[in-house]
């Protein structure tokens, strides 16, 4: 039974790997997009202003608490029991109010989280619409957000972050240049045509080198005379216009008598 279970598990992972191999998978960095997205930057600034205001209020409340504690310590011996009880109750109320204020502002589900949701909800919607649009246009079946789930290794040519930025109207010229440099420097991203061309050029160069170095010795062929019977009789023989005169033989009139 254990062996059958192992075989079933192996078969499952094998089929899953085949299925994933048929998918076009990309990835995106939403953190990088938010850092450059103007609407997100403005929302962060507004939320930071709220937080600063709340922190200032907490500091003021804490200062009142500290002052009241110091006052109680100074007058503990001269106050009556009733005065001391009233001040101690006031101190406890201030501490409780401060804690309640801090919890209302910064506890999970508090005013901070509500303000962040209101400020960023529309921005996240715009981002994810742009991601879906780019993914569909590029033919991706799966797109990971590496900001939410870090990836151990990725190929830069499957990164659609810059394309999503352009879709949102974000200036990503420098990021695009950097990404293209990374893609071009990866040997796995070379086109097959370029590899075949380089191989063809190397093969042609090798053939030329072989032709240059190997110089066969020419063979001299002695022409075989053709018998008269096999000569072309259709050609008209060339008749000389004048017979040559033998200049070495004296003429008859030049002989002395």
Report the pLDDT value the prediction gives residue 2, as an integer from 0 to 100: 53
Residues sharing a CB contact under 8 Å with residue 123, sequence separation 6 or more, in sequence order: 34, 37, 39, 40, 43
C-alpha–C-alpha distance, residues 146 and 158, integer Å:
12
pLDDT, tens digit only, all 257 positions of the chain: 455 454 444 444 444 444 445 689 999 999 999 999 999 999 999 999 999 999 999 999 999 999 999 999 999 889 999 999 999 999 999 999 999 999 999 999 999 999 999 999 999 999 999 999 999 999 999 999 999 988 888 888 999 999 999 999 999 999 999 989 988 988 888 876 655 555 556 655 555 555 544 444 444 444 454 444 444 444 444 434 443 444 444 444 443 43
Report the pLDDT value the prediction gives residue 208, as an integer from 0 to 100: 56
Q: Work out the number of other CB atoms within 10 angstroms of the CB of residue 113.
A: 13
C-alpha–C-alpha distance, residues 100 and 43, integer Å:
26
Strand, coil or helix: what is 159?
A: strand
Q: Which two tokens stand for residue 245?
A: 């005169």
Report the pLDDT value the prediction gives residue 219, as an integer from 0 to 100: 47
Of 213, 58, 205, 37, which is closest to residue 128 (Cα–Cα)? 37
Report the pLDDT value the prediction gives residue 132, as an integer from 0 to 100: 96
């Amino acid at each position: 039974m254990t062996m059958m279970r192992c075989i079933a598990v192996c078969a499952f992972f094998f089929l899953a790997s085949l299925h994933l191999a048929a998918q076009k998978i990309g990835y995106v960095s939403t953190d990088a997009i938010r850092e450059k997205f103007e609407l997100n930057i403005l929302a962060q600034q507004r939320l930071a202003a709220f937080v600063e205001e709340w922190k200032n209020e907490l500091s003021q409340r804490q200062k009142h608490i500290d002052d009241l504690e110091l006052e109680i310590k100074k007058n503990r011996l001269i106050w009556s029991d009733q005065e001391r009880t009233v001040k101690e109750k006031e101190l406890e109320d201030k501490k409780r109010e401060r804690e309640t204020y801090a919890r209302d502002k910064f506890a999970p589900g508090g005013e901070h989280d509500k303000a962040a949701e209101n400020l960023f909800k529309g921005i996240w919607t715009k981002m994810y619409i742009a991601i879906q649009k780019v993914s569909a246009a590029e033919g991706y079946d799966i797109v990971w957000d590496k900001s939410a789930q870090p990836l151990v290794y990725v190929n830069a040519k499957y990164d659609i972050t810059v394309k999503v930025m352009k879709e949102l109207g974000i200036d990503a010229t420098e990021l695009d240049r950097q990404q293209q440099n990374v893609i071009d420097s990866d040997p796995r991203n070379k086109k097959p045509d370029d590899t075949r061309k380089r191989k063809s050029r190397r093969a042609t160069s090798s053939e030329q080198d072989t032709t240059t170095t190997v110089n066969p010795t020419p063979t001299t062929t002695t022409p075989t005379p053709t018998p008269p019977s096999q000569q072309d009789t259709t050609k008209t023989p060339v008749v000389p216009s004048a017979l040559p005169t033998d200049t070495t033989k004296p003429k008859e009139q030049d002989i002395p008598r």
